Amino acid sequence: MYLRPDEVARVLEKAGFEMDAVTAKTYGFRRGEDYVYVNREARLGRTALVIHPTLKERSQAITAASSDVKTCDHYVRFPMYLAGDTNDHYGIPHGFSSRMALERYLERMFG
């Protein structure tokens, strides 16, 4: 069982991220130069946290991504995904089974 999007959002706020964008599909969070999205459509939480694609390699050293990419027209702070048929932005999705696992990940990635 993965953390739901609202739980991921609470952990991000506790870690010092500030929510600065809310859409029907996402919450956008900023802390300094770092930006992440919470995928509000991730009912089961498997793709709840979406990081910038340039962080993929660094993130892989910590944990495996849920899938290669997650596209969404609401990820406006991330680059366009040019390999698909749609003109959506994309990021790298992650799911976490506990708050502690997410907190450790955030500390290692953005600490």
Q: For the segment 32-80, what is each residue's pLDDT rounded down to a tens digit?
A: 999 999 999 998 999 999 999 999 999 999 999 999 999 999 999 999 9
Q: What pLDDT is recorded for position 71?
A: 95
Tokens 């050293």 locate to 61
Question: Residue 83 — pLDDT band, cuts 50, 70, 90?
Answer: confident
- Kindly report the pTM of this predicted structure: 0.95
Question: Residue 87 — pLDDT band, cuts 50, 70, 90?
Answer: confident
Identify the CATH assignment for 3-108 out of 3.90.1150.40, 2.30.30.240, 3.40.50.12660, 3.30.300.30. 3.90.1150.40
Give, in order, the Cα–Cα distances in Å from 85 to each of 54, 71, 93, 99.
22, 11, 20, 35
